């Protein structure tokens, strides 16, 4: 089975390819000849994920999925949430975004946070959604060099490493995206093919 992953984030592609481990062929936007920006105009992860998947599925007439992810911090009333990519400004880097979070949490003892991924799947003109959540804590400072985005400041509950100190395989076992992808694969196996995806 071939599915297009509507993302411009190469780290997401690496994680999802590792999670799917050959059960499906994941095509990147470059592989189908798309190089533009994908719009992301909404205020919820669900609407943005659907918008990204629809943008590609309708242009290329393919089965396709997209992922929208946010980091929700309890002491910041759920911010940055759906605005995680541009938290420190429209051109912000991951470093800028993490610095802003650490600044806002300076002296704050409640470090509770969660990552939430919503995957929107367009499959044979139907829409399906899969969610994955991981609970954790925002660290006092950046730790680790792996991963991407906010990984160096997020430590999942039950672990003493940040996501940026884990391999892709370790992160996938417990992460928001790993969980959402597991549900996507399970769905395709159980509900659509009726047998393991070949
Ligand atoms: P696409 O929309 O092209 O998929 P994006 O990087 O814009 O790529 P999102 O809007 O879903 O993706 O990401 C929101 C922000 O959250 C962005 O700054 C990411 O770096 C960050 N992020 C997403 N997944 C993450 C993860 O697993 N670990 C750490 N940060 C993550």
Q: Against a cut of 0.85, is the pTM above it?
A: yes
**Domains of the chain: total:** 1
Whether 10 is covered by a domain: the verdict is yes
Please report, for the domain that includes residue 99, its CATH number. Answer: 3.90.950.10
Measured in whole angstroms, the distance separating CA 121 from the mean position of its chain's CA atoms is: 14
Give the pLDDT of residue 183.
96
196, part of any domain: no
Report if residue 136 sits inside a domain: yes
Give me the active site residues, please.
Answer: 68
Residue list, ligand 1 pocket, CB within 6 Å:
7-9, 12, 38, 40, 67-69, 84-85, 94, 147-151, 163, 175, 177
C-alpha to C-alpha distances, 95 to 130, 148, 149, 181, 186, nearest whole angstrom: 29, 10, 8, 27, 35
Backbone angles phi, psi at 12, to 5 degrees: -65, -40
Q: What is the mean pLDDT of the chain?
A: 94
pLDDT score, position 128: 97
Q: Report yes or no on 66 lying in a domain.
A: yes
Residues 17-30 have pLDDT tens digits of 999 887 888 999 99
pLDDT at 1: 77
Q: Please indicate, yes or no, if residue 197 is contained in any of the structural domains.
A: no
Domain that holds residue 148: 2-191
Residue 14 lies in a domain: yes
Of 84, 114, 169, 174, the one to substitute when testing ligand 1's pocket (max ligand atoms within 8 A of C-beta) is: 84
């Amino acid at each position: 089975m071939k599915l297009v992953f509507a993302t411009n984030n190469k780290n997401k592609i690496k994680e999802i390819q590792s999670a799917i481990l050959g059960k499906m062929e994941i095509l990147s936007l470059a592989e189908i000849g798309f190089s533009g920006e994908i719009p992301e105009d909404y205020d919820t992860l669900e609407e943005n994920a659907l918008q990204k998947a629809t943008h590609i599925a309708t242009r290329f007439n393919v089965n396709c999925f997209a992922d929208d992810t946010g980091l929700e911090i309890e002491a910041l009333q759920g911010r940055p949430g759906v605005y995680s990519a541009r938290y420190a400004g429209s051109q912000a880097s991951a470093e800028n975004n993490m610095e802003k979070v650490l600044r806002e949490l300076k002296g704050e003892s409640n470090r509770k946070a969660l990552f939430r991924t919503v995957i929107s799947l367009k499959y044979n003109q139907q829409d399906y959604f899969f969610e994955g959540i991981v609970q954790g804590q925002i660290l006092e400072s950046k730790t680790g060099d792996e991963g991407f985005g906010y990984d160096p400041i997020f430590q999942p509950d039950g672990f003493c490493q940040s996501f940026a100190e884990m391999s892709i395989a370790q992160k996938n076992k417990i992460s928001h995206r790993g969980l959402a992808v597991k549900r996507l694969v399970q769905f395709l196996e159980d509900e659509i093919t009726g047998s393991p995806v070949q």
